[in-house]
Structure 1
Amino acid sequence: MTDGSESTEGVRLQKALANAGVASRRVAEQLIVEGRVRVNGAVVTELGSRVDPETDLVDVDGTAVQFDQSKRYVMLNKPTGVVSSMKDDRGRPDLRRFTKDWDERLYNVGRLDAETSGLLVLTNDGELAHVLAHPSFGVTKVYIAKVDGRVTPQTIQRLLRGVDLEDGPISADKARLLSSSAEGGGSLVELTLHSGRNRIVRRMMAEVGHPVVELVRRQFGPLHLGTLPAGRTRELTKVERGALLTLSRQAAGQQED
C-alpha cells in the first residue's frame, strides 16, 4: 500500500483506534500486532493498514469500535409518572426534560409504561434503536416486580412454561423468586423477557394471580441500571457503547445470512 494522503486512502488503523478512544496509538499498535483487531471481519496485523472510519467495521477482542462521534447513547433511570414519549398529547410529564442537556435530538428506544420505572436508552442512532427495540433480534430485558401475594415455585414454573394472554401465549426466558413474605407483604420476582408486547410483565403476573404493585427494568441487553438514581441520566461508557454496537452488527449479519 502506497503512502498517499489520508483523505484518499483512509486513516492508519492505529490512529483511527486512538481517535476513537480505544487506546493510545502505541497500545493500539500492540493490539494490531497481537492479532486482536479485525477490520470487516478479517484479522489485521499489518501496522501500515488504513481504514475508512465511515464505512469499515472494526472490532477489538470481538467488541465493536465506535468511530462515528456524532452518535449519542444515554441511559435514563425513568421515574414513575413519566410517559415514554418526546411529547405527550395529553400534557403528561414526558422525556423532553431528560434530553435538553444534549445538542443532538435524542429519542427513546422502546417504551416503559408510565407507572414502570427503570432503564431506558435515549439515542440518535436509528439503526441501533431498531435492533434493540424489535423482538425478532431477541434482546433481553430484566425486570424486578413487586407483586401481591405469596408467589410459589410452581408459579415460577408456570411463567417459564408460558401463559395464554388475549394477544397470544407468552413465556419468560428466565424467572426466579427473589423473596416471598408469609405475612402478606407480597413477593419480589425477577423476570427476563425479550418480548416487546405492551405491559407484558404486568399482564403475565396478573394472569398467574399476582398483580404487580411496583415494576422496575434493571437490565436492557448488555446494559445494567446499576446505582443510577431515578430521574438521572448518564452517557454510556466506551465499553457499553461497544457492547451495543457489537449487538447491532451481529443482528445486521443475521439479516444478511
Structure 2
Amino acid sequence: MSETPETDEGIRLQKVLSQAGVASRRAAEQMIAEGRVEVNGELVLEQGRRVNPQKDTIRVDGSRIPAPRRHMYTVFNKPRGVVSTMDDPEGRPTLTDYLPRNTRLFHVGRLDTDTEGLLLMTNDGEFANRLAHPRYQVPKTYLADVEGLVDNHALKRLTQGVTLEDGPARADKVKLIARNPQAQRTQLQITLHEGRNRIVRRMMDAIGHPVNQLARISIGPVRLGQLKAGEWRDLTREELGGLLDLVQM
C-alpha cells in the first residue's frame, strides 16, 4: 500500500521526528504512545497527528526538535589575532580566511582581535538579531588568564557589579579555576549575558587584574569543546533547539 501523501494540513508527526533524526518512524510512534512528545506545549498521544514543523514547537522528552534547516548555523573557534569581520582594509586575517569558499555567513556578535574562542555564524538574520539582543540575556562564558592573585573580595566585586565608563556591569557567575603564586597569575571562568565591547577585559581592569589571555568557551547550550582554533562545525540539533528556546523562536 502506498503511503498517504502529505497535505496542506501538515506532516505526520512521526515523519517529522524521523526526518529530524530523532528515531525511526516506528520508534517515533512508540515515543508518542509513551507520552514523550509535545506539540506547542500539548502532550500528543494519538498517532497520525499532523504538524507544521516550521511553525509548531515540537519537543521529545522536553528537548526542542528544530524544524528542518533552511539556514546554516555553525560554531567557529576564532584564533587569537583574527579580526571578527569578513574583510579588513588593513589586510589582517579575517573570518573569511577560515570558511569554505562561497559560504555566505555572517557572525553573531564579535570577539576583539586578541580574544579567541567561540563565535556563532549563520545566514539566518532573525536568529542572529535575537541572539544578539540584550532582551534575551543569552549567557556567555569566558576563560580568562589575568594578572595577579585574585582574592575572594575581588571575585565578589565581579558578581556584585563594577562601574564602567558606559554604565554598571555584573557577572552572572565567576568560578576560580587556579591561582599561580609563582607566576602571579589567576585563571577564572566568567559567565555573563552582557554583549558590550571588551566587557570582560574592562571589568577585570576595573578590579585591578588586567587580562593576559581570554577565550570564549560557550554561548548558551553551545560549548567549544574539542574544536581546535581555526576549525568550524555545524550546530547539533540539541544546541540549535536550546538556542531557539532562549531567543523564543
TM above 0.5, one fold? yes
Equivalence for 1:204: 203
Question: Which structure shows the higher helix fraction?
Answer: 1
The code of the aligned residue for 1:145 comes to A
Deviation of 1:7 after TM superposition, in Å, equals 3.1
Instruction: Quote the residue 1:32 is aligned against.
Output: 32
**Shift of the alpha carbon at 1:104?**
5.0
User: Is the contact made by 1:176 and 1:191 (CA closer than 8 Å) also made in structure 2?
Assistant: yes
> In 2, are the aligned partners of 1:14 and 1:28 still within 8 Å (CA)?
yes
2: distance between equivalents of 1:54 and 1:169? 40
Which runs of no fewer than 5 residues in structure 1 stay unpaired?
Answer: 253-257
Q: Deviation at 1:4?
A: 7.4
How far has the Cα of 1:5 moved from its partner?
4.2
Contact 1:65 1:245 in 2 (8 A): no
Q: Distance in 1 between matches of 2:231 and 2:8?
A: 43
CA offsets 1:61-113 (integer angstroms, 9 cap, x no match): 22222223222221111101111112224332111123326x65211111111
Contact 2:65 2:238 in 1 (8 A): no
Shift in Å, 1:183: 2.1
* Maintained 8 Å contact 1:63/1:246: no
CA distance in 2, matches of 1:23, 1:147: 46
State TM-score, norm by structure 1. 0.89
Identity among equivalent positions (%) equals: 51
- For residues 101-134 of structure 1, give each alpha carbon's deviation from its aligned partner in whole angstroms, at most 9, with x where no partner exists: 6x65211111111100011111122222223222
Matched, 1:190 2:189: yes
Give the structure 2 partner of residue 128 of structure 1: 127
Does the alignment pair 1:168 with 2:144?
no
2:93 counterpart SS class: coil
Give the gaps of 5 or more residues in structure 2.
none
1:255 maps to: none
3-state SS of the aligned residue for 1:147?
Answer: strand
DSSP 3-state at the match of 1:215 = strand
Q: Is the 8 A contact 1:106 1:122 kept in 2?
A: yes
How far, CA to CA, are the matches of 1:54 and 1:117 in structure 2? 34
Q: Distance in 1 between matches of 2:36 and 2:121?
A: 31
Q: How does 1:30-109 map to 2 (within 5 A)?
A: 30-100=30-100, 104-109=103-108
Question: How far apart in 2 are the matches of 1:220 and 1:38?
Answer: 26
Does the aligned pair in 1 maintain the 2:64–2:238 contact within 8 Å?
no
